[in-house]
Amino acid sequence: MKRYLVALNLLLAVGTAIGGYYAPQPFWQPVLINAATAFFGAALAIILVNVYLERDSRRKAVRALLRLAQDGIVDFHNTFLDIVWTKFGKDDFGKLRENFKEAGGDVMVLAPEQRKSIYDLAKQHQTHLGPLLEKLDQALVEVVSLTGWSLDANLLAQALQCRVSIRKFRMLKLDDSDDAINGAAEHLIDIDTFGTTALHILKDMGK
């Protein structure tokens, strides 16, 4: 209906403008031109009001989604950082993470002892991390289902990649093999990175 109103007002604006241009009598020219201006203004007003309303509704929806997802993402993030900081320290883990990011997520850029340390922490704290991963995964289910393909493609991508990393980590057998060590380090860093990136996107969209 809104589109029809906009189209109708634009057609009337064009029609009255043309009529005003060709009107033979001086009286009708300003009348028709003023009418054309009014119709065009009405069409523009409908467009602007609806754009504002859509943005406002979108912002409210994003804020509600943020409330649903925030606890799951933040709880895992804070716990994961607390665990790794006790081993590496804040600055050293920050450098480790930056190297991992610059390498495009290639875990082999990390030193063997760094990968082994993250693996050991994952194994040591698996009973604590397990419920947090479940909570995070459920939060991301909400994000994926409510985001769909139209709200924000990057948000959807980050949430899906985080869920994939959670699934891969859960499939690991923590048997001290090289695959387990490398996989645990890679997937845990990915989980936290994708999850916190999704959270930041949500916060920016809700502003």
Over residues 178-186, the mean pLDDT reads 97
Which pLDDT value is given to residue 60?
73
**Calpha distance 138→99 (Å, rounded):** 30
pTM: 0.72
Is pLDDT of 4 > 70?
Answer: no
Is pLDDT of 1 > 50?
Answer: no
Is pLDDT of 44 > 60?
Answer: no
Length of the chain measured in residues: 207
**Calpha distance 86→116 (Å, rounded):** 15
- 114 versus 150: the higher-pLDDT residue is 114
Highest-pLDDT range among 43-57, 63-77, 157-171: 157-171
Asked if residues 17 and 28 have their Cβ atoms less than 8 Å apart, the reply is: no
Q: Quote the mean pLDDT of the chain.
A: 80
Band (16; pLDDT cuts 50, 70, 90): low
Q: Which of 142-151, 156-165, 198-207 has the lowest mean pLDDT?
A: 142-151
Asked if residues 183 and 169 have their Cβ atoms less than 8 Å apart, the reply is: yes
